[in-house]
Structure 1
Amino acid sequence: MQKMNKKELQTALNERNGWQVWWRLLRPHTLTASFIPVFVGTMIAAIDGSFHVGLFVAMLLASILIQAATNMFNEYYDYVRGLDNEQSIGIGGAIVRDGIPPKKVLGLAIAFFLVSMLLGVYISASTSWWIALIGLISMGVGYLYTGGPLPIAYTPLGELVSGFFMGPVIIGISYFIQAGFVHEDVWWISIPVGIFIGAILLANNIRDRVGDAENGRKTLAILFGHKGAVLFLGFLFGLAYLLTGLYILLGILPIWSLIVVLSMKKARDAVHVFSTQHNNPLQMLPAMKYTAQTNTFYGFLLGISLLLQYLIPFTI
C-alpha cells in the first residue's frame, strides 16, 4: 500500500479531531463484545425468574470499563514496543496520530480499572466474594493481553483467551450474580457468543498479518496465512450458527432464537471482503466492521429472543 502522510491517512480512515479523538481511544465498535455477554447472561437469568436491575447495570459498566482499559493498554504497549506508527491501519491511533500523551492513555486505563474494581466490590458484597477473585483474574488477563514480557495478543492464544473470558466467563458471572448459581445450559449458550468475540480478534489479526509478522508476532493469522485464516474465520461463523441451531432443537434455546439468522449476512460480507483483499489493510477495514457487527447483531438478537421467551413463553 502506498504510504500517506498523517492528514491523508486520517482522511482515509474518516478520523476527526475534538471529542472524537477520545471516543476513538475507547474503540467503541468493539465494546459490544462486553455488552453482549452481560445482556445474554442476564436475559437467561430473567427467563429463570431472577433479575436485579442494580446488579445488571453494575456488571455492564464494569465489563465495559475493563474492556476499554484493555484497549488502552493495547494502544499504550503497541506504541511503547514500536508496533504502532502514523502509517498503522487500525482502530488505534490516539497516540501516534492524534497526539494523546502515552502516559495519559496509561493513566486513563488504570483509572478505568479502579472504577471497575469499585463496581466489583458492590457486586461481590451483594452476591459472593468469589466474584471479586474472578474479576481480578479477568483484569490481570486484560493487562497481560498486551502488557508483560509475553503479551497474549502476540501469540496464537489471543482468540481463545479473549473468547473464553468475554464469552463463558462474563456470561457465567452475569447469570450467577442474578440467580446465585450457574446451570449447564448457561455454559452451552455462552460458547457461540465466545466464538463470535474471538472472531473479532481474528479479523483484526488478519488485517494486521503482514505488519505483525514483521514485528515478530505469532498470531493464528500469521500461522495460517491469509487464505487459511479467512477459511478459519468462516468456519468459526458456521460453527457458532450450527451450535445455535442445535441448541434450539435440543430446547436449550427457545424457538425465538431463530431470529439470529438475520445476522448471517454480516458474517458472509466479512468473509467475502477478506477473501478478495489480501495485502491492503485499509481495504480490509470493512471486513473488520462486518465481523464486529456480526457479533453485535447476533448477540443482540439472541438476547432479544431470550427476552421474548421471558415475556411470551413459547414451546413446541
Structure 2
Amino acid sequence: MTETVSPTKAWLMAARPQTLPAGAAPVIVGTGLAVHEGVFAPLPAVFALVGALLLQVGTNFANDYYDAVRGADTEDREGFTRVTAGGIIDPQRVKTAMYATFGLAIVIGVYLVYIGGLPIVVVGLASVVAGITYTGGPLPYGYRGLGDVFVFVFFGLVAVAGTYYVQAVTYASDPLPLGVPPETVPVAAVVAALPAAGLSTAILVVNNIRDKETDAAAGKRTLAVILGYRLSRIEWTALVGMAYVVPVVFWADGYIPAVLLPLLTAPLAARIGRTVWTRTEGEALNPALEQTGKLLFAHSLLFAIGLAAPAFV
C-alpha cells in the first residue's frame, strides 16, 4: 500500500541516513591509525569520508530499486519501508538518483586519484560496480550468498586501508603514483580494518536473518537463506567477537592501553546477541539492526581514539 509522505521524507527514507554512521566508521578508524603513524592528512581524510558516505547512499538507492524490480521486497517483508516497492517514489527516479550519487562519488574521487594514483582508480571503480551489482545487473551477487563478502571487503578492509592509504601516500610519493608506494598500506591498516569489516557485515547478517523467509520465497539466496538460522547466528557471533579480539592484539603488540577502549561496548554487543540468537521477527530484529549500527560506530570511534591517543599524550 502506498504511503502518503512528503518528498523530503521520501528521499530520506530512500537514502537511509541511519546507515551513514556505518559508512563513516571505517574512515574514522583509518584516520585514527594515520594519526598514530604520523601520516594524518586532513584534506584526503575529508574527501575519503565524503566519498564513503556517497557510496553508502548510492548502494542504498541501488538496493531499494533493484530489490523492488526483482520482486524481493514484498508486503510480507518486515524491514523498514522501501520507497520503490512501496510506490512512494517512481522507480526510474530512484534509479536516476542511484547513478547521480555514484557519479558524485566519482567526482569526489578525482582528487583522491590525484593523491593516490592508479590504486585509487581501481578501488574506486570496483566499489561503484560492486555497489550496483550487489542487487543489480544480470547476476546480482547479493542474491547468491556473496553479500556478506562484499560488505566485509568494501565497507571494512577497503574503506579502512584505503583511508589510511590516501593519507600516508601524501608523505610517501609524488601525485599520481602508478603503484602502491612502500609503507602506505601496512599490515596494521589491514588488521585494524577487521573490526569495522566484521561489525559492518554483522549488520547485514541481522538484516538477512530477519528477512530469511521472505527472501527465500522471492528467490533471493542470501547467506542466511543458504546457512539457516543457527549457522547465521554463529556467523554473527564470530564477526562481532573478532571486533573485540583485534584491540587486544594491538595492545599485546605494544600499543598503549587506550587501544582497549572498544571493549567498553561489549555489554551492548551482548544485549544485541541475545536478541539475534532468540528472535526472528522484525519487531525485535529491526531495533537490533539499528543497535548493531550504533555498535559499529561506537566501537570504531573508541578504537580510533585509542589508536590516535599517543599523538596527544
Q: Does TM, scored on the shorter chain, surpass 0.5?
A: yes
SS of the equivalent of 1:31 reads helix
Aligned residues of 2:247 and 2:303 also touching (Cα < 8 A): no
Single out whichever of 46-55 and 99-108 deviates more from structure 2: 46-55
The one-letter code matched in structure 2 to 1:264 is A
TM-score (norm 2): 0.89
Once residues 154 and 118 of structure 1 are traced to their aligned partners in structure 2, the CA distance between those partners, rounded to angstroms, is 29
AA aligned opposite 2:285: M
Equivalenced residues, count: 299
**Does the alignment pair 1:40 with 2:43?**
no
Task: Please tell me the residue identity of whatever aligns with 1:39.
Answer: I
Residue 200, structure 1, aligned to residue 189, structure 2: no
296-305 or 203-212, larger mean C-alpha shift? 296-305
Deviations 1:234-278 (A, max 9, x none): 222122212321221122x43212111122222212221122323
Q: Does 1:275 align with 2:277?
A: yes
1:72, 1:105 within 8 Å by CA — same for their partners in 2?
yes
Aligned to 1:112: 101
> Match of 1:94, SS?
coil
Q: Does 1:289 align with 2:290?
A: yes
**1:148 lines up with 2:149 in the alignment:** no
Give, in angstroms, the shift of residue 223 of structure 1. 2.3
Q: C-alpha offsets along residues 86-133 of structure 1, whole Å, 9 cap, x if unaligned? A: 443223411233611111111111111111111111111133232122
Matched residue, 1:222: 225
Give 2:120's aligned amino acid.
Answer: I
Contact 2:30 2:189 in 1 (8 A): yes
Counterpart amino acid of 2:296?
N
Structure 1 contact 256–305 (Cα < 8 Å) conserved: yes
* 1:13 equivalent in structure 2: none
Counterparts of 2:256 and 2:79, CA distance in 1: 38
Look up the match of 1:247. 250
Q: Which letter maps to 1:77?
A: Y
Percent of matched pairs sharing the same residue: 30
Over 3 Å counting, the alpha-carbon distance change for 1:169 and 1:147 in structure 2 is same
In 2, Cα distance between the equivalents of 1:222 and 1:114? 33
RMSD across aligned positions (CA): 1.9
Which range moved further: 74-83 or 157-166? 157-166
Q: Which residue of 1 aligns with 2:188?
A: 185
Please show how residues 1-316 of structure 1 align to structure 2 within 5 Å: 17=6, 19-97=8-86, 99-180=88-169, 181-251=184-254, 253-278=255-280, 280-312=281-313
How far 1:228 sits from its partner (Å)?
A: 2.7
Which amino acid in the other structure matches residue 193 of structure 2?
S
CA distance in 2, matches of 1:105, 1:17: 15
Moved more, 107-116 or 150-159: 150-159
Give, in whole Å, the separation in 2 of the partners of 1:183 and 1:235. Answer: 25
Q: Does the CA-based 8 Å contact 1:21-1:98 persist in structure 2? A: no
What is the distance in 1 between the residues matched to 2:266 and 2:2?
A: 36
The alpha-carbon deviation at position 136 of structure 1 amounts to 0.5
The one-letter code sitting in structure 1 at the alignment partner of 2:260 is L
More RCO (CA 8 Å, sep 6+): 2
Distance 2:296 2:73 in 1: 26
Question: Counterpart amino acid of 1:299?
Answer: S
Distance in 2 separating the partners of 1:86 and 1:209: 14
In structure 1, runs of 5+ residues without a counterpart are 11-15
2:36, 2:309 within 8 Å by CA — same for their partners in 1? no
Alpha-carbon distance in structure 2 between the residues aligned to 1:156 and 1:187: 24
Letter in 2 for 1:82: G
Measure, in 1, the Cα distance between the counterparts of 2:74 and 2:227.
Answer: 26
Letter aligned with residue 217 of structure 2: E
Give distance in 2, aligned partners of 1:266 and 1:207.
Answer: 19
Listed one character per residue, the Cα deviations across residues 50-77 of structure 1 (whole Å, up to 9, x for unaligned) are: 2222211111111110111011110000
SS of match in other structure, 1:217: coil
Distance 1:85 1:220, change over 3 A: closer
Q: Which amino acid aligns with 1:248?
A: W
